[in-house]
Structure 1
């Protein structure tokens, strides 16, 4: 080290005077900067650091700060455990027959029917434009359809009559039509049975198919709770069945009689495809259009194909959002049974009501719940007060209407009505009742 210092001193002494002055000035400036830096330096604390500082603190692996998954999900969703509870009768929708079905009513068009289920307008146009026959739907005819996982229409089946069915399947440039004409012989058949266990087990033992069981439960859904039938209760059902080569190909329910606790319940099909009692009174219970005493502004519409604004992924909005002050009354839109009433994740305080076998409604982000699971409610009953709970950006009510386990647009859907037959329609129906009722013997 001493030898190095001596070498530097010798080198400095041999330098010209100007070079000595320059070299000395540089040494002085360097030394001054080091002294100044030491005087103003202070350690950077964790709170002041612009960058994350390393830490040895153990982390909880169960806590995640990644919100991408949340951002990709719909805003209004109850947890999976809080979905509408199912019972064994719901199993009858699990066969080859699609649950997406609709009976044409007065005033319906192909567009009005499919639009309420969220079908793409371009698909509806392709169907109607290239298949003009679809513009002539008649009351009582039935439509069935199949969707893919993204909600895109794959095929539509139009039951024109008991003998003619038209199928429209998606093709490269639209939909291809296939007309099927059935050649079997239609015969009436009465099926009787006694309750021994559940209705599903008893009906299968009597020889009914899943589609026939579904038809019976829908016909009587407003009069009976099939879960409360007891051993010894009896039923008699009249079908018109198509027989081809000794096998039943399809069937149509004409009338049903259920005797429970000594009381008879009837449902008989009319020419409009709906079921009425023996006097021609409608069996369906009417629904309210809105779940509130007055109309409120819609802040988010029904959109089963909505794209998430952040992720760009499909995040369906399966209901309608109403801007409504906290504490406003929320009403049941129809008669039914409360099946869920609790806090449920993103949905906040959440109520679900089942109406018969086909319909259910859901109400989310509530401030206060006024009903309990298992409670029976009537159309217009107060079930909750609106709020801003769960995953919500402001006070609002999220309302959903489901038909055959498929979300539909609550503002445009064809709602059940408690209509009765009148005039000539009623006269024709009562004449039919006189023929059907005597066949429903027990």
Structure 2
């Protein structure tokens, strides 16, 4: 800085007398104007509020919506089948790791590290194994249950500094049993009357969720369920669905479990309907990411952001990411124009701040169908689409979640599966 001052002084001394007078006059006029402006300017409350609002609007526009925007959770209609759903449940698929599974559901990576650090066995998850977990009110991981096999279950319970493992090995006798029934009322009530538990009913609806709508089954429709049940001291301790057959309006629907834990039809074709990763024809800038633990910058409170915001011009097409049924299509307060779609029994998607709705409740849609035009309605600070993906009634990160795929079995896996089908099919009698 001193060197700069010396350089300027040297240059000034080299100027002629007229140049020095001109520069001095300009500096004096500039200084006089600044003093005059300071003397006549009197800020008032309105101008201060306007200035603060402008700053806040700039900060909010970076995220495209307020930090504490509520998701209209109560807008998704519930039915009797939802009572059998199991929250926080996941079946391990190809390529999954403990970290990739839990973080997509918004569980903090520090909790995942704490869990895996001293429990190295969790690095050996196998395809088809099941995980269940519980969270506290702040979304922190409290426990994890790992169903290693039909006989072994490992539970990890949070302590002050780590997660403590306990292993439960059951020594009951596993037997296959077939449960048959005829609908006389709802499927849930008929299945309970036939002897299925809530968890077994949930397994059936999940296996057949892509083939039929259980709410539209009719009186007289029939079902046959093949279960592997463990009996200990005369009681059923746990069970696993092997295969199911549903006969509705004279048509048979089958789902049979493969060794990978997934269900396929009699030919080994996948039953799930594939999803798009993005609800738009092209990718747009993400203005606010998924963050279930996001903190409000003013209050410091946890203000979860349960979806992803895409900065999109008003009127841009919004697409259904998968086949499903529209369950909400209306204006909904802070969410603005809002569409919710149910995909099978496990999945639902939500689209908010829309400019124009192109679908109605009860309408069936296919993957890639236009359902709306993006907008800036509701509590929104700029044109954008707020998109959410829910699995088992829990919001997940749409950009990293494992999406349903419709691929079938091939090669050796298909041959082994078809041999299993030949054994299972005769047992699914009606």
Q: What is aligned with 1:67?
A: none
Which residue in the other structure is 2:403 paired with? 415
Residue 77 of structure 1, CA deviation: 2.5
8 Å contact kept, 2:322–2:366:
yes
- Mapped to 2, the partners of 1:73 and 1:242 lie a distance apart of 49
- Which sections of structure 1, spanning at least 5 residues, go unmatched? 1-49, 52-70
Match of 1:145 in 2: 133
Counterparts of 1:247 and 1:327, CA distance in 2: 59
Distance 1:370 1:428 in 2: 45
Describe the superposition over 1:19-56 as per-residue Cα deviations: whole angstroms up to 9, x where unpaired: xxxxxxxxxxxxxxxxxxxxxxxxxxxxxxx89xxxxx
Cα deviation digits, residues 217-242 of structure 1 (max 9, x gap) = 00000001000000000000000000
Checking the alignment, whether the CA contact within 8 Å between 1:145 and 1:155 is kept in structure 2 is: yes
Q: 1:92 aligns with which of 55, 60, 84?
A: 84
1:360 aligned to 2:348? Answer: yes
Alignment of 1:18-417 (within 5 A): 74-78=68-72, 81=74, 83-93=75-85, 98-417=86-405
| Separation (CA, whole Å) in 2 of partners of 1:370 and 1:145 | 38
Q: How many Å separate the matches in 1 of 2:262 and 2:84?
A: 20
Instruction: Tell me, in whole angstroms, the C-alpha distance in 2 between the residues paired with 1:255 and 1:169.
Output: 33
Give the TM-score of the pair, scaled to structure 2: 0.84
CA RMSD of aligned residues (A): 1.4
Match of 1:40 in 2: none
Distance 1:434 1:347 in 2: 51
CA distance in 2, matches of 1:325, 1:76: 23
Aligned residues: 369
Counterpart position of 1:440: 428
Question: Residue 180 of structure 1: CA displacement?
Answer: 0.6
Distance 2:294 2:243 in 1: 42
Task: Tell me if the contact between 1:76 and 1:398 (Cα under 8 Å) persists in the aligned partners.
Answer: no
Taking structure 1 as the reference length, the TM-score comes to 0.82
**Secondary structure of 2:402's partner?**
coil
Deviation per CA, 1:255-299: give whole Å up to 9, x if none: 000000000000000000000000000000000000000001101
Q: Note the residue ranges of structure 2 that are not aligned, 5 or more in a row.
A: 1-43, 46-64
**Larger Rg, first or second structure (1 or 2):** 1
Contact 1:76 1:364 in 2 (8 A): no
Q: Partner residue of 2:57?
A: none
Contact map agreement 2:284 2:310 (CA 8 A) in 1: yes
Partner of 1:59 in structure 2? none
Once residues 66 and 282 of structure 2 are traced to their aligned partners in structure 1, the CA distance between those partners, rounded to angstroms, is 33
**Structure 2 CA distance for aligned equivalents of residues 279 and 72 of structure 1:** 50
CA distance in 1, matches of 2:270, 2:287: 35
Contact in 1 for aligned 2:77/2:327 (Cα 8 Å): yes
Give distance in 2, aligned partners of 1:73 and 1:209. Answer: 42
Maintained 8 Å contact 1:327/1:386: yes
In structure 2, C-alpha distance between the alignment counterparts of 1:72 and 1:368, rounded to whole Å: 21
Residues 338-385 of structure 1 deviation map (CA, whole Å, 9 limit, x = unaligned): 000000000000000000000000000000000000000000000000
Contact kept in structure 2, 1:72 and 1:313, CA below 8 Å: no
